[in-house]
Amino acid sequence: MDDHYCLYAVTWANCPVEGFGPGVDPRFAVEVVRYGQLAALASRVGLDQFDLTKLQEGTADLPWLSTVAVRHNAIIAAAARNAAVLPMRLGIFFASRSSLIGRLARYEADAAEFLRRLGDRQEWAVKIYVDENHAQMVHGPGETGRGGTQYLAAKGLQLDRRRQVDAVIRQAALTVEARLKGMTDAWQRLRPLATALTNRPEKMVWNGAFLLSRSTIDSFQTACERLRSELAAKGLIVEARGPWPPYHFCPSFEPQPEHSPCPSTC
């Protein structure tokens, strides 16, 4: 069987080997491939199961791809619980163990510097959702009167409600940013996810990622709880989740220039 290596993350060389279990190809365990002060978390994949061409073309079976992505993230998250990690996106494959080690050697200094700066910090995600019906009832003007102009009045009422809700959302986003960004070492405003990706009936209207040291997590969660209580009365839902590996705060480990979301094979 022709095997490649799938790369999950780069961490320190003293990362413990135990506890990772199987890789995205369940026939092969996750390995710790060391070079100097660094280690790559990787596992073999058989090309009888991983069709790299389909992955590159985006034609891979979606249920299979979802299973692989979940396992890929779980391996990174397991490593991040106990050590600083530089996480990799799904789809970075190496034709051999030696080519993987060669990449480690090439990026050793940059990766080590990132891990030192990261320290014990972890990423947390904060999102704001709007319950449209609740928000419009809370913020909209009263009912229109009846008569020959009822239709136009109703349309005007609907527009006024929409403007009121939009203004409340904008102010809520500013409030969340102002309260939370001073408690973090870095933060990013992200694009809100489509409803099809959130599996929620409410619409996501704000999305942010925050990099926290472990010592500030309790106060950060307390601040999020207060925001949740304050904004719930306005028809807004604040959701804070974490910790996650620092997906939005890490440098690229891939050859440049490379801007394609397709998998790379080295």
Question: What is the DSSP annotation of 113-163?
Answer: HHHHHHTT-EEEEEEEEE-HHHHHHHHS------STTHHHHHHHHHHHHHH
Lowest mean pLDDT among 50-59, 65-74, 153-162, 171-180: 153-162
Compute the C-alpha angle 251/245/128, nearest 5°. 105
Encode burial over 110-134: b for 16+ CB neighbours within 10 A, e otherwise. ebbebbeebeebbbbbbbbbbbeeb
Confidence of residue 132 (pLDDT cuts 50, 70, 90): confident
Distance CA 91, CA 109 (A): 23
DSSP state for residue 11 in the 8-state scheme: E
Quick one: fold of 122-245?
Alpha-Beta Plaits (3.30.70)
Which amino acid is present at 5?
A: Y
Check residue 138 and give its pLDDT. 53
Model confidence pLDDT, tens digit, residues 192-236: 999 888 889 999 999 999 999 999 999 999 999 999 999 998 889
- End-to-end, the C-alpha distance of the chain in Å comes to 18
DSSP codes of every residue in 218-258: HHHHHHHHHHHHHHHTTTEEEEEEEEE--GGG----S-SS-
The percentage of residues in the chain with a pLDDT greater than 70, rounded to a whole number, is 81
Has residue 13 got a pLDDT over 90? yes
Check residue 164 and give its pLDDT. 85
How far, rounded to the nearest angstrom, does the alpha carbon of residue 170 sit from its chain's CA centroid? 23
Structure tokens at 102: 């060669």
Check residue 37 and give its pLDDT. 94
DSSP state for residue 22 in the 8-state scheme: B
Domain map (residue ranges) of the chain: 3-119+248-265, 122-245
Model confidence pLDDT, tens digit, residues 137-195: 555 555 544 555 665 555 555 667 778 888 999 999 999 999 999 999 999 999 999 98
Compute and round to an integer the Cα radius of gyration of the chain.
23
Check residue 236 and give its pLDDT. 94
Closest CA to 43 of 53, 35, 32, 34: 32
Check residue 134 and give its pLDDT. 63
Strand partners, 244: 123
- The pTM of the full predicted model, rounded to 2 decimals, is 0.77
Higher-pLDDT residue of 61, 137: 61
